[in-house]
Copies of this chain bind each other. A is one copy, B any other.
Amino acid sequence: MKISYQEVSKHNTREDCYVILYNKVYDMSEFIPHHPGGPQIIVKYAGKDATAVFDPVHAPGTIEKHLPKEKFIGELDLDTVPQEVRDAANAAQKEEEDRRKNIPPLSGCLNLFDLELVGSRVLSNMAWAYYSSAADDMATYNENRDVFRRIWFRPRILRNVKNIDLSTRILGHHTTLPIYITATALGRLGHPDGEMNLTKAAAREGITQMVPTLASCSAEEIAGARDENGAPTQFFQLYVNSDRRVAEEMIHNAEKLGFKGIFVTVDAPQLGRRERDMRTHFEDSGSDVQKKSGEDVQRDEGAARAISSFIDPSLDWNDIVWMKSVTRLPIILKGVQCWEDAVMAAEFGLAGVVLSNHGGRQLDFARSSVEILAETVDALKERGLFPRPGFEIFVDGGFRRGTDVLKAIAMGATAVGIGRPFLYAYSAYGPDGVVHALRLLRAEMEMNMRLIGAPTLKDLVPEMVDLKALHHRGSGAPTSDDTTVFNPKGSKI
């Protein structure tokens, strides 16, 4: 027998809490304290339909995995949904459609900044806040762009640059560009196909994809989106679970799904406080003037907090030893931030490191990856560890222009990870947007290789970049992020 909307509405307290998801009714009362995203968001939807907020942040199968079968109460009787509830749902959908109505033709986007601009208009407030937010005062977020303004070129002339070859190998796998799609969470906030958009584009353009632990598609879905030839090459980004059995299971699953390497995130023992994200969340959960002071500082830390409570902050080098023992896949540390740890990784026999500050989302005033790259290559060279087959250096954070990528390659990186721009691209245009972004990068890089005088990536040598100003940090003005306590929603770009 179907359950009426009116019946659901009666179970509207923390103690007695029904929630509608995908037209099914569940009893959440006992689950509430165990929700990784905190109890409050569930209580807010007690007696109501939570599908719209649940859907984009949970992978398929989440309900089945966490709720005992007996908590499924029954199907919702759609005929009983009141008109005002239908109207509200329709209004929300209309607002979404309106945002999408006036986007410019894809070919009008001439660079990745255009795609970001379009993305910011297309995304909902919550999605924009989650994707674009960064730590504290966004000093690192801004530095990730600013640093490229401090690296200049020393081009060579009169070299035959008729044919430009941008291809290389990442961990032994061919790629048409020294660029890979890096792992980012909650891909369905921007588009119903989520991370699968990236898989399709990567296949079409011949580049590799790093599959995130916190994807909102399942790893199986993302692997399943490969084309008939099994393209693209995929790696797996791993947040190590406090329960090592779960972690091991994830690693073996990654092997089974054909992923070619494990990128262990080591810069996020706890996910960051990103205030733009928190403010949106705060807004959503309503005002609480009566609330006692201080007691809930960590309560509402936005989407980031909601999805990350299982990450193990006690992870250390011993775990890496253990991890090597349970898989033959190459292991790469993602989030190395000083040369000392890169040297240790090389000495531990790992396959490489990703120099990264997590897109400026974790520690504010972490340095940019290319600044770390400079000291790391020096330190490795001094110790005879660079260049060395079997140990590769990747970088990510703030790469938007073909020139940004070429600078990192010339300085010694094997490849560059790019994340947010592809999210913005598919949020607005689906996989075509990501393909377009990659072709823009390819066009820029091809031209700039010509202008620098380097027909292949091997010809990009350190002497081609002028690093005199590399360390001149701090001249950038602080971000004028207009989200404050008086304007929690802020404004988009």
Contacts and interface: CB of A to CB of B under 8 A. Distances in A.
A240 to B, nearest CB: 10
A297 B439 contact: yes
A78 interface: no
Contacts of A21: none
Given A289-B105, A294-B436, A316-B159, A110 B275 contact: yes
A272 interface: yes
Contacts of A155: 267, 337-338, 363, 366
B156 A341 contact: yes
A6 to B, nearest CB: 33
A264 to B, nearest CB: 9
Contacts of A159: 316
Interface in A479-493: 484-486, 488
B475 A337 contact: no
A340 to B, nearest CB: 7
Interface string A315-330: 1110110000000000
Interface of A: 104-111, 113-114, 117-118, 136-137, 139, 146, 148-162, 266-270, 272-273, 275, 278-279, 282, 287-289, 291-294, 296-300, 312-317, 319-320, 333, 335-338, 340-341, 362-367, 401, 403, 407, 429, 432-433, 435-436, 438-440, 442-444, 447-448, 450-452, 466, 468-469, 471-475, 477-478, 484-486, 488
Contacts of A472: 469, 472, 474-475
Contact of A364 (B108, B299, B401): B401
Given A105-B289, A450-B313, A320 B270 contact: no
Given A137-B401, A365-B151, A366-B153, A432 B293 contact: yes
Nearest to A367: B152
Copies of this chain:
4
Contacts of A435: 293-294
A291 B117 contact: no
Contacts of A473: 149-150, 152, 468-469
Contact of A468 (B151, B366, B407, B471): B471
Pick the most buried of A266, A364, A367, A450: most chain B CB atoms within 10 A of its CB: A364
A275 B443 CA distance: 13
Contact of A451 (B114, B267, B341): B267
A455 B46 CA distance: 39
Contact of A466 (B110, B300, B367, B438): B367
B443 A269 contact: no
Contact of A104 (B317, B367, B474, B485): B485
B114 A484 contact: yes
Given A158-B266, A269-B451, 10 more contacts: A107-B282, A107-B297, A149-B473, A155-B267, A158-B341, A270-B451, A272-B447, A294-B438, A472-B472, A475-B475
Contact of A367 (B110, B153, B315): B153
Chain A residues touching B, majority SS: loop
Nearest to A291: B107
18 contacts: A105-B289, A107-B297, A108-B282, A109-B485, A137-B401, A146-B474, A158-B266, A158-B315, A158-B316, A161-B269, A269-B451, A292-B432, A313-B450, A363-B403, A364-B401, A364-B403, A365-B407, A468-B473
Given A403-B136, A485-B108, A486-B117, A157 B474 contact: no
Contacts of A152: 365-367, 473
A314 B471 contact: no
A205 to B, nearest CB: 8
Given A266-B158, A447-B270, A451-B269, A105 B294 contact: no
Contact of A294 (B317, B364, B432): B432
A335 B484 contact: no
B451 A484 contact: no
Contacts of A110: 273, 275, 278-279, 282, 485
A11 to B, nearest CB: 27
A112 to B, nearest CB: 11
Given A161-B269, A471-B468, A156 B111 contact: no
